[in-house]
Structure 1
Amino acid sequence: MEQSTSKEVSDCWCFHASIPKELLALIPEVDRGKACVCSRCVTNFKATLPS
């Protein structure tokens, strides 16, 4: 997870991606809406989910 910069982002790959709610729930409350989840983290997390 990376901290975002102070710049507002108008478009990002994640705006169009399916990110599991279980992964988003792992982001600390204070960082929600501020932290970025990279595509590798999403891919790795999905690989741990039961089929």
Structure 2
Amino acid sequence: MTTGAAVIDVSRCPLCGESNRCAMEVERETGQAQPPCWCMQADFSNAPLAKLPESMRGLACICARCAAGTPPQD
């Protein structure tokens, strides 16, 4: 039985799919202490969070590029 909910890869940015390089998630998965994550000092004011469906919020970190509001390069 499926619930219809999307499976979230916590190592990937939910906006662009690139690696989010979340040190906190690496520490959780490996049990090895990590330096403070880049996100602890990041400014998220330009992040296009409105593009992220409500059901996907709070489940995986966005990447530094998306946090800065920089569009992906195609």
Larger gyration radius, structure 1 or structure 2 = 2
* TM-score normalised by length of structure 2: 0.38
Greater per-residue strand proportion = 1
Greater per-residue helix proportion = 1
The higher relative CO (CA closer than 8 Å, separation ≥ 6) is in: 1
